[in-house]
Amino acid sequence: MTAAARARTPLVAANWKMHLVAAEATAFCRALLAAERPTRVEAAIFPSYTLLPAVAAALAGSEIGVGGQDLHPDDSGAHTGDVSGAQLRDAGCGWVIVGHSERRRDHGEDDVTVAKKLAAAARHGLRAILCLGETREERRGGATFAVLERQLAAALATAPGSAADWVVAYEPVWAIGTGDTATPAQAQEAHAFLRERVAALAPGALAGELRLLYGGSVKPDNAEELARQPDVDGFLVGGASLDAAKFLAIIHGCAAGR
């Protein structure tokens, strides 16, 4: 492992999507705080907006991060149903997810919108997890790298310059919620490509220090092997992050693999 890889603190993030209510969220946080966690892995929770105050309060004083699952590109305005970066900060967030494939699919978000959201996150001092990844058809058609390059290049056009400000999550759409996890070799191949392209497209972005997460059916029994890959710096976990014991097991698996 290179010195830059060693310097990258792994991050395991829980994307709760549209699940849980406040009592369940608080119980999850209590279980997480009560458990023994490896100090060399960072953790962050991304609940629905309505749960943010409860989760931020439950995790206050801990080193576990809290973030929104999306934000609007504008700082305020007539955007019914949307949430701004300032509002996320006000609710206790230090993080935000940008460009998740479910947002791209359900809300028609294109690369330009995603780039604007990344810029909004930076304006509000939110660290962003930029999600990208190919569909099954794109992989079958041999377009994986072209899709990743297109999504990355659009984001980098406005992305903040420091590797401390953002994280990239490679989430192959065919692996999300399907149980069809990418193999460690597939994840490593995509991550190595992304790191190489970040270095080429944005030399100031400190590609060697940028954290690259894998997301898509990560579970307690595949986390360690995935984390052994030199360019896998942690995980964005959906389904398995709803259960505190499973999420903890993934954090431990990540630590064991590094």
Q: Which residues bind ligand PGA (CB under 6 A)?
A: 15, 171, 176-177, 215-218, 236-240
CB of 75 to ligand PGA, least distance (A): 26
Rounded distance, CA 39 to CA 216, Å? 24
Rounded distance, CA 92 to CA 194, Å? 31
Nearer to ligand PGA, 124 or 246 (CB): 246
CB of 240 to ligand PGA, least distance (A): 6
- Catalytic positions, written as ranges: 100, 171
CB of 2 to ligand PGA, least distance (A): 27
Nearer to ligand PGA, 160 or 239 (CB): 239
Residue count of the chain: 258
Nearer to ligand PGA, 99 or 238 (CB): 238
The residue among 77, 26, 71, 68 whose CA lies nearest residue 46 is 68
Residue nearest to ligand PGA (CB): 238
Strand ranges in 93-202 using DSSP code E only, listed in sequence order = 95-98, 127-132, 166-170
Three-class SS of residue 230? coil
Q: Which helix (H) or strand (E) holds 66?
A: strand 65-68
Nearer to ligand PGA, 218 or 251 (CB): 218
CB of 101 to ligand PGA, least distance (A): 7
